[in-house]
Structure 1
């Protein structure tokens, strides 16, 4: 794996002696070649913890995505140095509190000098490039990277749909039940995101995790990271935003060169009637000496087309609600866009609660 280690991305080694969990490793080549055992393992993982390492080094598509992610990381090392005033001009489509954050710049905390001190995000819209329904223009300090962003999103979409096709078969759904909802050209809120976690100036870990406990409001996420900080929990209970989860339930996920961390999201819980499970996780300050260095990661999401009804699909392997058990007719079925915005509001509320900030009315 030496040629995939990109040593310049690893400021210091991951410390020994920490509570860690090594996720199961799957092979992209074997998944793309319809290997029955790999498909079975993927489906089983997605009905439990919802996280796994995917080896990208054994297939040309994987290598293309891996090299693309490395290039995006290098871009991130430079573009986050752009003055805050310029970054703010790259605006999200709508208020962070009323829209999906699929494009634009966002920071989640400033120091006394007006610089980001917790987390900042750059979001590149997949629909902006590929839907053909908008004139999507990047700011001048990002525009030279458009070809890289397009290529990386295209390749990620292929890999997302390899995973989704296997989940279709595992749930005995018709071919295309998931993949037809996740086309490259759909308006879906899909994004390529570069995340920058500045190192605390005092060298001490943040009092609260920069990214609190949550499950992603996506279908599938591909996460590239080169430092510690990502943690998953052994708890299968729903996220409770009103209480702190016990620290001894959280485990670091060490980065693995040549691999991407795959995370199933809440969309798949809804569409599968909770047969599939989204991975609960958080991001804390990198451990030990790694915490003295800024942390960069690259996230590429898949979401369903924005008009998709957010309800369980029909299959012998998916439990169906009995209308007779709910005389009121049940809850209103939201579209994927409406549901996604609802999830964003919950996340914002959680972050504000954790940081003791005023809550939205």
Structure 2
């Protein structure tokens, strides 16, 4: 794949390459054309990447479906950059999150606000699938500063779901599952808390040495994450060295695809959810804002999170059989409760997590959280 695209100008996004001095993760690059056309060699490479690492680069440049999605994601990152820079914190907070416990699929969230009102850690805008695609759902009431982009957001989610189905369909085949086992559980119109997330990790405004984590290590509470992050910052855990993280090198024409904990559960550990984090690149890149777009694909909300039928998927152990069977929505909400409790014990709760606790207790969230 050429380093510079001859059909799409991305030079304004890929301005700061990863320094040569940092350790880079060895990640497979998979062809979207090979998956869409069901090429056995490519689907096998995909399967091995999802089994062994839980992450891969997806080359979108060799098929029109991929090119369309890449074009939409590139435009989304540009729009996100403009939105984050041109609107005040007060304006962005006019797009509220849902008043519930569960996946944050809608609204604006800012973590760690300085006394001057600047975002210190990261800020996100979530665009939900539910209001856009689920029959009978209410209209998506975006604020005026966000609503002009609704059509693009819709297109990104539609294209992202098609790409996800190409991946899931290939995995079905490799796992020798009945056709539709995975894809039918990830339909665009089914309530699932899928979303498009726009993320900004602000630069410090000055050069700084040393790595600083700006989003803690975690596995996604999803099946797949489709990420376009033109600037360095993402790290993934080495598959054979627990606790050792290496940098993912941004490559024009590709997106990063993460396997989430959802697929790990549905295959009883055959596919691996990747542990990953976001770190500020030391040196000159410390001062640079990092903006990305992420499409999150989850199993439908009422799906039991149990291993799916496959000769390659181990049966539940006796210990596993004793556990309460949770739906996709219940599993995600319970995981969030558990993670919040751990961070509370460590004294590391973020404002969003404090609000989560207040809502759990049925109490009004204090102003400023």
Change (3 A) 1:179 1:11: same
Q: Does 1:137 align with 2:137?
A: no
Cα deviation 1:225-269 (Å, max 9, x = unaligned)? 11111001115588xxxxxx4xxx111111000001111110011
Change (3 A) 1:237 1:338: farther
Match of 2:328 among 329, 336, 356: 336
Q: Does 1:151 align with 2:143?
A: no
Match of 1:106 among 109, 123, 126: 109
Change (3 A) 1:353 1:32: farther
Which stretches in structure 2 are left out of the alignment for 5+ residues? 358-369
* 1:242 aligned residue: none
Match of 2:122 among 102, 119, 124: 119
* 1:94 aligned residue: 99
* 2:80 aligned residue: 76
Instruction: Tell me if the contact between 2:30 and 2:57 (Cα under 8 Å) persists in the aligned partners.
Output: yes
Report the alpha carbon displacement of residue 42 of structure 1 after superposing the two structures with TM: 0.4
Instruction: Tell me if the contact between 1:18 and 1:252 (Cα under 8 Å) persists in the aligned partners.
Output: yes
Report the alpha carbon displacement of residue 201 of structure 1 after superposing the two structures with TM: 4.0
Instruction: Tell me if the contact between 2:206 and 2:286 (Cα under 8 Å) persists in the aligned partners.
Output: no
Instruction: Tell me if the contact between 1:46 and 1:276 (Cα under 8 Å) persists in the aligned partners.
Output: yes
Report the alpha carbon displacement of residue 167 of structure 1 after superposing the two structures with TM: 1.1
SS of 1:93's partner is coil
TM-score (norm 2): 0.88
Distance between the aligned counterparts of 2:126 and 2:37, measured in 1? 32
Report the alpha carbon displacement of residue 314 of structure 1 after superposing the two structures with TM: 2.2
Report the alpha carbon displacement of residue 53 of structure 1 after superposing the two structures with TM: 0.8
Q: Which moved more, 1:291-300 or 1:75-84?
A: 75-84
Instruction: Tell me if the contact between 2:202 and 2:288 (Cα under 8 Å) persists in the aligned partners.
Output: yes
Cα RMSD of the aligned pairs, angstroms, is 2.2
Instruction: Tell me if the contact between 1:229 and 1:287 (Cα under 8 Å) persists in the aligned partners.
Output: no
Q: Does 1:312 align with 2:307?
A: yes
Report the alpha carbon displacement of residue 336 of structure 1 after superposing the two structures with TM: 0.4
* 2:39 aligned residue: 35
SS of 2:181's partner is coil
Instruction: Tell me if the contact between 1:194 and 1:299 (Cα under 8 Å) persists in the aligned partners.
Output: yes
Match of 1:174 among 154, 169, 178: 178
Change (3 A) 1:10 1:348: farther
Change (3 A) 1:205 1:331: farther
Change (3 A) 1:309 1:83: same
Instruction: Tell me if the contact between 2:122 and 2:201 (Cα under 8 Å) persists in the aligned partners.
Output: yes
Instruction: Tell me if the contact between 1:15 and 1:288 (Cα under 8 Å) persists in the aligned partners.
Output: no
Change (3 A) 1:350 1:107: farther
Distance between the aligned counterparts of 1:275 and 1:256, measured in 2? 28
Cα deviation 1:61-94 (Å, max 9, x = unaligned)? 1111111011111111111131111211211112
Change (3 A) 1:78 1:348: farther
Cα deviation 1:253-305 (Å, max 9, x = unaligned)? 11000001111110011100111111111100134312211000110011011
Distance between the aligned counterparts of 2:283 and 2:36, measured in 1? 38
Q: Does 1:51 align with 2:59?
A: no
TM-score (norm 1): 0.90
Cα deviation 1:206-225 (Å, max 9, x = unaligned)? 87511111111110111101
Which stretches in structure 1 are left out of the alignment for 5+ residues? 239-244
Change (3 A) 1:5 1:262: farther
Report the alpha carbon displacement of residue 43 of structure 1 after superposing the two structures with TM: 0.6
SS of 1:119's partner is strand
Q: Which moved more, 1:157-166 or 1:130-139?
A: 130-139
Instruction: Tell me if the contact between 2:208 and 2:283 (Cα under 8 Å) persists in the aligned partners.
Output: no
Q: Which moved more, 1:256-265 or 1:73-82?
A: 73-82
Cα deviation 1:137-185 (Å, max 9, x = unaligned)? 1111110001100111100100001110111112111111110011111
The alignment covers a number of residue pairs equal to 347
Change (3 A) 1:207 1:288: closer
* 2:367 aligned residue: none
* 1:303 aligned residue: 298
